[in-house]
Structure 1
Amino acid sequence: MTLNKESTIAHFEHSIEWVQSLTELTDKEWRRAIADGKWSTAEIIAHFVPWDEFILKARLKEFWNDRPLPQAPDVHKMNQQSAERARKEERSETIGRFIAVRTKLLQETKKIEASRWTTPFLIGQTELTLSSYFQGLIKHDLHHMEQIKKVLSTERR
């Protein structure tokens, strides 16, 4: 799958609509772990927020500065903090935060010239393009979306 700007934008739009649809879940569905030892839907959705914020603040405007981009923050720590926050806040707040930051990411993505989609840049020693970078992010989104869909479909039978 080679990603271009249009398919990335379509994914971001779909993800916003899909997360918005989660407002219809019961509180039990929203807070139940997707499997033993795994996060709940609430925690999964909440963990997208700091990563989208990181992309917006630390990566998106720095992609073509001819110097390596900063490494990502501590994954475990950032995910743990977002999961803890999700356990304390209302579903509407978690969903609202996701929609707000993903909408901003969508808007900023729309501003990127299509020609930039194949321009290489570095993260550490790894050379990427926007196409390959967003492909990884979307694969991650889809993995979690499938987990949630699967657990909801088995709960609702």
Structure 2
Amino acid sequence: MNKYKQEILDHQINAMEFVKSLSFLSEDQWRTPIQEGKWTIAEIIGHFKPWDEFVIKHRLPYLFSAEELPKGPDAQKINLESAASSREESMRDTLNKFILMRKEFYEEILYLPDELWEREFYIGSSKLSLYEYLKGLADHDCHHFEQIKNTQPFLK
């Protein structure tokens, strides 16, 4: 298996395990902002699902096709809607939605042929490889996971 593909797949497994570990948080920990003026853990985890879904449906199928990439969504709108939704639903539902969507994401990545991982494509004027694109998403995950870990010492 391509080493880049393996790295991204490993990240997806680790992300799911990390999010599963959040089920031990109290309701107060889950719903308290990580810092003043910042999102709660519920909102952070809740915002991943629509983005994973976007990548699965509107990026991966188009990256190496002759078709033009669909326009990206309004990031602020997606984030506001997902944050509002995760404030309303139970911790269990938010965690389960993340896990189910991330499993689907994992499966999509698993079936990407090894030869695509270093091939380049464009998103707008940015030239990227599949690895660079998915590594950027993984780095985004890790940024938020570190924010969460910094508020919950037992997760370190």
CA deviation vs aligned residue, 1:88-108 (integer Å, no higher than 9, x gap): 000010001000000000011
Equivalent position of 2:92 in the other structure: 92
Letter in 2 for 1:10: D
TM-score, structure 2 length as denominator? Answer: 0.94
CA-based RMSD of the aligned residues comes to 1.5
What residue in structure 2 maps to residue 70 of structure 1? Answer: 70
For 2:111, the aligned partner's letter is K
Residue of structure 2 in register with 1:31 after alignment: 31
Q: Quote the offset at 1:17 in angstroms.
A: 0.8
Query: Runs ≥4 in structure 1, deviation > 4 angstroms?
Result: none
Gaps of 5+ in 1: none
Match of 2:58 in 1: 58
Cα deviation for residue 19 of structure 1 reads 0.3
Look up the equivalent residue of 1:88 and give its one-letter code: E
Q: Is the 8 A contact 1:66 1:121 kept in 2?
A: no
Q: Is the 8 A contact 1:11 1:138 kept in 2?
A: yes
**Who is 2:15 aligned against?**
15
In structure 1, the partner of 2:81 is 81
1:11 Cα deviation (Å)? 0.2
**Deviation of 1:61 (Å):** 1.1
| Distance (Å, rounded) in 2 between the aligned partners of 1:108 and 1:67 | 19
TM-superposed deviation, 1:70: 2.6
* Cα distance in 2, alignment partners of residues 53 and 13 from structure 1: 17
Q: SS of 2:122's equivalent? A: strand
- Cα displacement string for residues 44-65 of structure 1 (whole angstroms, at most 9, x for unaligned residues): 0000000000001101111111
Q: State the AA in 1 paired with 2:5.
A: K
Q: How many residues align?
A: 153
Post-superposition Cα deviations, 1:90-136, rounded to whole Å, max 9, x if no partner, equal 00100010000000000110001111001111112221111110111
My pick for the range that moved more, 80-89 or 58-67, is 58-67
Return 5+ residue gaps in structure 2 as ranges: none
Q: What is the Cα deviation at residue 38 of structure 1?
A: 0.1
How far 1:72 sits from its partner (Å)?
A: 1.9
